[in-house]
Structure 1
Amino acid sequence: MNLKDIFTRAGAGTIYILVILFGLLGGRFSFLAVFGTILGSGLFEFYRMVEKDTTHAISKIFNILMGVVIFISVFLYLESINIYLLPVFILTYLLILIASAIFLRRDDILHGIIYSVFGQVYITMPLSLLMFISYSPDMANNEYNWVPVLALFVFLWVNDTAAYFIGSLIGKHKLIEHISPKKSIEGFIAGIFFTLLASLIFSRLYPGFTPIFWMGLSVVVALFGTLGDLFESLIKRTCNVKDAGDLIPGHGGILDRIDSLLVAIPAVFLYLILFHSF
């Protein structure tokens, strides 16, 4: 990677981080706008990638619109503006898919339904859960609070950065070579170590929870964030593409930037439930 590429990658990455921070720190409406846009872009890249070699009976535009509508209905549910739209839109989406299987005369219709639903489970559900995390009663009396989501992003960024640099410098043992040849065991361990250090800083800045809570959260993020990165690499290899898109110079598409996030979010959501239970 030459110097120009490094500056391009660093500049695009900085802008991405600033957009995420604006979405988090700007309040619930900026959260809705920023992550709703990320959701729509991620769904577009996913369905375009899956449709690379063939077209599907179910329109990707329909799937993208329904994903965004469901995301907005989650916001309306959490704001207690309308608690019925969320189940209504989810059920409507499923009923349309089932009806399409009956009325559309195509041999690949079942495959189209599977790819449609998987896109929503893979992208729409985690980003919707991210909004639930931001309204977690454990953190802010069921009002919008950016602290847990900021922690999630910071831990992901620390893990990815440490794993990349340490892996590039001293990485000799491949983590899972057949999926991601560049990832090393040394980088993986370094990512967890530095994420744990970041969790100790969070425990000092936000002492409402114990250091054990923050350390546990950081390990969950590091482990499942790495899993998410590997999973998207598997999808790209299956679809025979290098990047999911080209929206972010030097990084690829939106999906390439949020791949670790998409698997880390459900794990963090489950962690918060279990931690609250005990």
Structure 2
Amino acid sequence: MKNLIKRTITGIIFVALIIGSIIWSQYSFVILFLVITILGLWEFYSLVKTTNFARPQTLAGIFSGGILFISMALVAMNIADFKILLINLATIPLVFFIELFSKNKNPFTNISFTILGIIYIALPFSLLNFFFNTGLIPGVFQYEILLGFFIILWINDIFAYLLGSAFGKHLLFKRISPKKTWEGSIGGMIFSLCAAYIISLFFKELSSIQWIIIALIIIVFGTLGDLTESMFKRSLNIKDTGNILPGHGGILDRFDAVFMAAPFVLIYLIFIV
């Protein structure tokens, strides 16, 4: 009961912060998610170091990931053009340069995990900036699409967990996640599709069919993101990636679905809608 109360309070604050930052302005979103990106990278590199298999460059990775996020945000807000993204090409050699003088035993393993953190965490978070400016309404700040994205993702997460806990019998991917079930996944899908239709009644930037397609993308790739993070935790033999969110675990625990779903939803919005 005590853990449920802690989980509920943390969840309310967490959701309120994200929704508030999205609705308030693109600047508030950038500030909050820059912090989340930094914390996520720190968490990832710290976990990898516990294996003694690799020693990723934490500060260099966070610096490179932060530069990637900020440069993407500046482009998305029309403050800078795409040329500024070239600055990210200079941060990758920095990782090699540092490793060259670090005298570590497995330099290329360290480099690989450093760059993996940037690709796996910083890049998807950076792409979220473009949800405000997909070109559907040129020059207009659109928070509705990003807000709808998170609502559908949360609905899928919540109902997959609740229905899986109550009715789950058939495991979805036993080798990777012994708790995720087909019943939970199907339940999450049904409620997500319903949520997408309801959202389409209020956020009319997209049609109901387009919102439902976005929901399907979130369901498929969000589940893939969840399983990928479970595989990561299983390889490290840990339950949670951190404890920064009491009752919920770490940053990677809460945003695992975003890492895989965000790029594919953005591709759909830009190239297909």
Flag the 1:56–1:185 CA change in 2: closer, same or farther, 3 A. Answer: closer
Aligned match for 2:194, one of 191, 194, 197? 197
- Deviation per CA, 1:19-76, whole angstroms, max 9, x where unpaired? 1011101101101111111101111101101111227565202211221122111122
Report how far residue 103 of structure 1 moved. 5.0
Amino acid paired to 2:61: N
Correspondence for 1:87: 86
Give the counterpart letter for 1:85 in structure 2: I
**Structure 2 match to 1:60:** 58
2:270 is paired with a residue of what secondary structure?
A: helix
* CA distance in 2: counterparts of 1:80 and 1:146, whole angstroms: 16
Q: What TM-score do the two structures reach when normalised by structure 1?
A: 0.92
Structure-2 residue corresponding to 1:69 = 67
> C-alpha displacement at 1:196, in angstroms?
0.5
2:149 is aligned with 1:166: no
TM-score of the superposition, structure 2-length normalised?
A: 0.94
Aligned-pair CA distance for 1:216: 0.6
How far apart, CA to CA, are the structure 2 residues paired with 1:269 and 1:126?
10
User: What one-letter code is carried by the residue in structure 1 that aligns with 2:180?
Assistant: K
CA contact (8 A) 2:155 2:191 kept: yes
In the other structure, the counterpart of 1:25 is 23
Deviations 1:151-189 (A, max 9, x none): 110001110111111111111100001111111101101
Unaligned runs of 5+ in 2: none
Query: What whole-Å deviation, never above 9, does each CA across 1:134-164 have from its counterpart, x for those lacking one?
Result: 21112x3144321111111000111011111
Aligned CA-pair RMSD = 1.7
3-state SS of 1:54 partner: coil
Aligned pairs, number: 272
1:29 aligned partner, one-letter code: Y
Matched-pair contact (CA < 8 Å) for 2:48–2:54? no
- Unpaired runs of 5+ residues, structure 1, are none
1:22-171 to 2 correspondence within 5 Å? Answer: 22-54=20-52, 56=54, 58-83=56-81, 84-88=83-87, 90-100=88-98, 102-138=100-136, 140-171=137-168
Provide the secondary structure at the position in 2 that maps to 1:175: strand
- Contact 1:136 1:143 (C-alpha < 8 Å) held by counterparts: no
1:255 is the counterpart of 2:243: no
Q: Distance in 1 between matches of 2:199 and 2:78?
A: 30
Q: Which whole-Å CA distance do the structure 2 matches of 1:154 and 1:196 have between them?
A: 11
TM superposition shift of 1:104: 4.8
**Match 1:184 to one of 181, 184, 199:** 181
Partner SS, residue 162 of structure 2: helix
| 2-structure distance, mates of 1:99, 1:68 | 19
SS in 2 for 1:137: coil
